[in-house]
Structure 1
């Protein structure tokens, strides 16, 4: 199906993705992974919750770890431009028949909770507590030196439908993979903040979260993380990479946290600020779309994902197969 034209005047304005809330079955194990190994900074914690931020981030958190009985994702959160945009978003979702809920979230102002067209839980806010800058406190830099959260990637049963929904609220497509036979989308990358993507969609059982990505300074930081993980008990948590994507041109590594939530460590993609930038099309059978160089993705990369709490999943409409490592 044709990629929709950019919606430059959406019903409300989203700045960027903001944060994710993971349910962690063992909070101490998750803390050791995200703080001691990856290097995210703790901004607050108690016996049931840990708040984390990257080294360049001024907002209070980009990750929330919430203790719970089963691994899941409670919400994907996005920041809007103003308080007025929150009200506009509530009206827009209500008009579509989508239930809206105003929820209280620590360290945030008013927060709107809704679901997308496939049931993915989304939360929108405008105000979050600001913290002093720490990006020049180099004594804090350790692990992979994560600077900021970069994007989400989600499995969806219908990439075309997901792209249409997010296009309607102002996300713009930068790159996409099309199945040559059916002319349906296999995957698509969409942004708000001027990078390659704030959110991407991959064909598969969904909705589920495929991965959350963090931006790091250089590819060498990724190599350092591999050395660290391989000698501190996390060797089996390394799933894919390092390598360079054709799509996005980014240097990447995929690892799994103690609950199986997939994390991408990511750097070196490109800007997409111009509103009239044409999307780049890739064929599903082109091996360099997923891996410009490096080993092909393993089967787990196409099948394993994190469930959204309380959300049912559906089988994908598109049955075409990508290139999978033997």
Structure 2
């Protein structure tokens, strides 16, 4: 099976993955984690809702936290389009495809279009947000990782080729994909982008759709350790799930945290640049994925945040994957004689 082909002339223009909305059980605790450890800045709060942004971002928000009495979940994945005219073109495109789009009014962003993708993931598109002061040069205000900007989102779905085809039809390009063995054809993961780095949205093969993680870029590796030190000092050390380590498909260093509601957030150093015509998809497999990182823990492989009201498909279909727990259990314990 080949990966889906990018449509070079999509019906409307998407700029990038731009924001995400989550529900949380205790807004005060969540704010402490995201401002002190991840280093986001609060743009607005009130009525059980908080809007946050990275220190480099001029857009009003990239993360919205909403207090809930129910099970914490992911509400929406946000993307920016070029203009309001693109929203109208998007409405026509999704209506033609039977996806039932609708315009909604939301605080702190321009006209917004809601729709679901082909596997049920809830999306929203907007062209504008109120402009805020960038704080990338206000070092006295920065905390924890001092996260610069929202970078990407990763989802789990039982058929990554089908899930990805929705996005390649909208002009997303594939930067990387991976199979298990070199001779395999079935893609297990697909990385897609619109901006000039390898990922705006990623799909991995598991039951879904569910949110695996969302990610912020930090300035360099020292900020990964500053986030870890801050987490330890403030009682969030148990929220570390994976890393620090280096991804096998690129040079980015990373750390994965689970927030107080178990939503997974990644902080990573700046990824490689993409976007030229000669940047074709890179095919990865066991034989060419080189890294010194340990295997991922079982929690990272199988746990994820549900989308509100979205049924999970492919339950029980996930294969057993190489994991940290089994790797460590297989290593003989060598005691000094």
TM-score norm. by structure 1 comes to 0.95
Is contact 1:77–1:123 with CA below 8 Å preserved after alignment?
Answer: yes
**Alpha-carbon separation, structure 1, partners of 2:310 and 2:67:** 19
* Gap runs ≥5 in structure 1: none
Give the total of aligned pairs: 323
- CA 1:203–1:251 in 2, change beyond 3 Å: closer, same or farther? same
**Alpha-carbon separation, structure 2, partners of 1:102 and 1:44:** 23
* Gap runs ≥5 in structure 2: 327-337
SS in 2 for 1:247: coil
1:31 is matched with: 31
1:225 is matched with: 227
1:153 is matched with: 154
**Alpha-carbon separation, structure 2, partners of 1:202 and 1:104:** 32
**Alpha-carbon separation, structure 2, partners of 1:110 and 1:216:** 30
1:138 is matched with: 139
Please say if 1:45 is aligned against 2:80.
no
2:81 is matched with: 80
Is contact 2:177–2:282 with CA below 8 Å preserved after alignment?
Answer: yes
SS in 2 for 1:249: coil
- CA 1:176–1:322 in 2, change beyond 3 Å: closer, same or farther? farther
Matched ranges for 1:116-127 at <5 A = 116-127=117-128
CA shift, 1:226, in A, is 1.4
Deviations 1:171-217 (A, max 9, x none): 11001112447621111110000101001001111000000100000
CA shift, 1:89, in A, is 0.7
1:201 is matched with: 203
Is contact 1:75–1:122 with CA below 8 Å preserved after alignment?
Answer: yes
**Alpha-carbon separation, structure 2, partners of 1:296 and 1:229:** 23
**Alpha-carbon separation, structure 1, partners of 2:78 and 2:36:** 25
**Alpha-carbon separation, structure 1, partners of 2:109 and 2:282:** 37
Matched ranges for 1:161-180 at <5 A = 161-180=162-181
**Alpha-carbon separation, structure 2, partners of 1:190 and 1:96:** 21
Deviations 1:213-236 (A, max 9, x none): 000001111112112212321121
CA shift, 1:317, in A, is 9.3
Please say if 1:295 is aligned against 2:298.
no
CA shift, 1:319, in A, is 4.8
1:99 is matched with: 100
SS in 2 for 1:196: coil
CA shift, 1:134, in A, is 2.0
**Alpha-carbon separation, structure 2, partners of 1:66 and 1:266:** 25
Q: Which of the two has higher C-alpha Rg?
A: 2
**Alpha-carbon separation, structure 2, partners of 1:19 and 1:138:** 24
1:2 is matched with: 2
2:335 is matched with: none
Deviations 1:301-321 (A, max 9, x none): 111100011111011697554
Is contact 2:37–2:228 with CA below 8 Å preserved after alignment?
Answer: no
Q: Alignment RMSD, CA only?
A: 1.6
Structure 1 stretch displaced more, 16-25 or 6-15: 6-15
SS in 1 for 2:85: helix
Is contact 1:13–1:81 with CA below 8 Å preserved after alignment?
Answer: yes
**Alpha-carbon separation, structure 2, partners of 1:319 and 1:308:** 19
Is contact 1:242–1:251 with CA below 8 Å preserved after alignment?
Answer: yes
SS in 1 for 2:31: helix
Is contact 1:17–1:78 with CA below 8 Å preserved after alignment?
Answer: yes
CA shift, 1:140, in A, is 1.2
Indicate which of 190, 208, 216 corresponds to 2:218: 216
Is contact 2:207–2:318 with CA below 8 Å preserved after alignment?
Answer: no
**Alpha-carbon separation, structure 2, partners of 1:139 and 1:174:** 37
